[in-house]
Each structure stands twice: as structure tokens, then as C-alpha cells.
Structure 1
Amino acid sequence: MNKLPPIQLPKIEFAREFTFSDADFERVRKIIYKEAGISLNPSKKDMVYGRLVRRIRELKLAGFSAYVDLLESSGGKREFEQFVNALTTNLTFFFREEHHFPILAEHLKKKTGTGEISIWCSAASTGEEPYSLAMTALEAFPGASRPNISILATDLDTSVLETGRKGIYSADKVARLPPGHAVKYFDKLPDGNYQAKALLRNMITFSRLNLIEPNWPIRKTFDAIFCRNVMIYFDRETQHKILKRFSPLLKPDGLLFVGHSENFYFAADTFRLRGKTVYEHTPKT
């Protein structure tokens, strides 16, 4: 039996409100890489259009070329924050990649008697991750002898940091919490949303930080650093530089938690895999 030839469907081109040339996209790629370390794959062109077109409309600009001209001008600093916020991805939820939290709890329990525990959540997004860390730490020390626990929650995106600072979440997001945690750690608001109790909010300091900036305003070391699902946006050279900068900020027995799709085998001089996307310092020879 002869096979019928495959049907060739016509490629449909959708009309765009603004022209977005390859040259425009390349300019955007260079700016976001230089300022935020984000390496945009050419396949992300449509995504970039969809996220930036709203800014072009709001600013009443003629198109993408005019928008990039604004970013590169002396008066574009105010818009640059909006630009970065638009291009960063903030997918998160409470206790995401849940296998990390029992490991963290066991690690923290070894700190009994130390007096203070510090954790850095370096890609805090809208706050679900640092609040998950806070709840894990509190559950690890149910008694009155709990050490002082502080969590630094940083992100490049200022708008999501404000969400985290308020600690207000919809009912469907809070529903993802382990049984009993919503009642124990959140207050239900009149509008049906939930707000993290003051006990949680007071443990966390939300602050803007760009991981590729040359100077981080951090003057302490941490028992654990969470840097999950952010390194995937950086090229290997940038990843290696950041890992080397994490190392002196992590206590000698500290742990680095990374995303499920992130593998830093190339940084064996700094960190070695302990298991389940958890790293520890590589011993000095």
C-alpha cells in the first residue's frame, strides 16, 4: 500500500503590533546579559516580545528600537528596573522541591546550642521559598530553646520582593502547605487571602541583590544557601564565578541547595555534590 504524502500545513504568521527585528532582540540580549547575567537563548524572542510590549504601550513609544534607545540613554535608569522585572521568571510555590526541606531540618538540628542560625535565600521571588525555610526552621526547633534564626531573602526583581515582604498569599497557594501549617503560621484576612504571621515575617529580611554585581552587601556567613532554579539563566562562566563567591559566605559545614535541573560538576574545585542537588564545600587538599 502506498503511503500518502504528509500534509504540509501553511505557516501562519500573526501580525504584531510593533516590529521586533533580530537586531532589536540582539540589543535586548546584550543588555540583560550585561546587567543581570541572564543569557537569553534565541528561541526566547517571542517571549521577550510578549513581556516587553506592555512596557512599550505604557510608555507610548514608537516601538522596540525606541525602547532600547531609552534603556541605553542617561535617562533610562528608572525604566531599567521595569525591564529586568519583566524579563525575570518568578515561578515558585511553598515547599517547592520538597525533598530539600527534611535535609535542611536535619542540618539545622545539628546547630543546637550555637545560638544563631543564618540562611540565605538568594532567589526569593514572591517569598514562598523563604517562608518555607522559616517554617522548616521553626519545626526543627519546637521547644523554647530555639536558637535565633535569621533569613536573608534577596532577588533582582523589586516587585516580587514587595510581595514577599507583605507575606500575603491567595487561598489556593496556602492550600499547598503541609497539613496544619496554614493555621499555625498564617492568619486569614477578611478578603479570603492569608498573611504570614508576624513570627515568620520578623525572621526574614527582604532585600534587592543582583548576583552578578561585583560587590554584595553581605557581612556574615550562612549555615545554608538556597540558590535554586536561577543559575539556569546564566552561562557556565557566570555560574562558576557566583559559586566561588558563595564559598566564603558559607560556613565550613554549610550546605548549598540548588535546583533539580542544575549540575555544577565543573565547579568541583569549590563544591562537591552531597546528594539530591545539595552541595558542600570541596575539602582543601
Structure 2
Amino acid sequence: MRFQSTETYVAPPDLTVAVNAAVALERPLLVKGEPGTGKTELARQVAASLGLPMIEWNIKSTTKAQQGLYEYDAVSRLRDSQLGDARVNDVKNYIRKGKLWQAFEAEGRVVLLIDEIDKADIEFPNDLLQELDKMEFHVYETGETVRARQRPVVIITSNNEKELPDAFLRRCFFHYIKFPEAAVLKQIIGVHFPGIKEALLAEALSQFYEIRETPGLKKKPSTSEVLDWLKLLLAEDLAPEDLKREGTNLLPKLHGALLKNEQDVHLFERLAFMARRTPRG
């Protein structure tokens, strides 16, 4: 059971090694990287490559670790008891299974994605330490212990919005997805747009990397954004010469796919203003 690149997904060698190491060690794989570098997509591709079903737990700022195990609906049970409903005699009727419980009780091995763990409260990772380590948890309302039939492949993503606790990090295999180099990015683009003309791709990538390296940029455009941009360029049937930027207008064509806040748009407008004021000679 080894992960590797597929016809629809280009995995750099270091990422392939990280995934397979985490699977071999039976440790959660903690993946960090810029937003848009494909952390969530990685979990989907690992599931597809290994031929496993995937269970996805999307974390929000209000998410509690307990929700991943189960939730006990005491309010519904009280209401049903007042109505004389016979369901109240079995507390299991009011237990809602969380994503970890679903992964633990699955007939076969699954990929469990815990997406954007850094969005939750700082205590969230610590609250899952024992469950992810021992692969079991106790249900207090029923007195049962839920144990994983097979240890799932756990992939945890983070956008680095918060520091994660050391105790949690010790239990994970860590990998940082670096922004792809030009050669790898061309491979990724080739998977999505196999018929793109070389001249258009060369000009687009030249501008893209130039934009990413512009000093003062608040948010660098990511892999997903360059794919969106190229999709628009192809839809508009633009030629390489259509992408040329003059000194008076440094914003790229269809820049809304690449620049996602007003500060960065204003930055390029200021650069164009400065270029107009700079005497040629």
C-alpha cells in the first residue's frame, strides 16, 4: 500500500516519501503549506491512490474535539420523555456519531481528513491526543469503549494560523508543502490543461512568478489560483502578446484570479504610477 503520483495528480518526491512514511509509522500526517497548495486535495488523492474511502472532518472556529467522537442530545431525550416516547429507554437513540467514530467502526481501512485544524481553539489538538494515539475512546453515556477496527490513515492540514502544541506535534509525521518549482508547476498545469500552447504557458508563468516575487505582496497567488487564471486565459482565447504589461498598467490580465485583496491591487497600481514618474534615459 504505497502512495504515488497518478495521471491526475503530480506529487513531488518529498511529498510521496512523507505520505508513505506516515502510513508505515501509523502516525497522523500533519501537512502545512500556503493556502491553495493542495493540502486538502492531497488527502483525496491519497485515498484514491490507496483505494480507500475517505471521511472528511472540516474544522471551524466553533468546532470542539468532542464532536469528532460523538454528541449526546440530552435536549431531545428530555423532550421525548415528556411526550412519553419509548425511545427514551435506550440512550443510544440520542448519541450522534462523529467523524472519528465513523472512521473507527468502518469495516475496512479509511483515510480520515481533519481539515484546517488550526481554525479551532488552541486546546482542540490536545483534546484529541489520546484518541489519535490509542485509537479508542470511551462513551460515558453508554459505558462502551469504541476501538478502531483498523487504524485509519489520518491526514491533518494546517494553514499555520495558530501554533500547534508540542505534545500534539510529537505524535505526528510533519511535512511542509513548498510552493512548486517551475518544472513541477508545469507538470501540474499539464495534467489540468494538456493542450495549452507552450508560448502562452511560458509568458503566463513568467508573469505569475514575477507577481509572486513582488516585494510587499500581502498574499502570494497559489497553485489553485494560477490554475484558475490559466482557465480564464484559455476561455478568453488570449495570445501571449495579449498578456504583455506596459509600464502604465502593471496589473495582469484578469488579475482578479491572482490578486485577492485591495492592498495587492493598489500595490501594482502604485508601482505603475512610480514607473510613469520615472524618467527614461
TM range (shorter): under 0.3
Larger Cα-atom Rg: 2
Which structure carries more helix by proportion? 2
Taking structure 2 as the reference length, the TM-score comes to: 0.27
Q: Which has the higher contact order (CA 8 A, sep 6+)?
A: 2
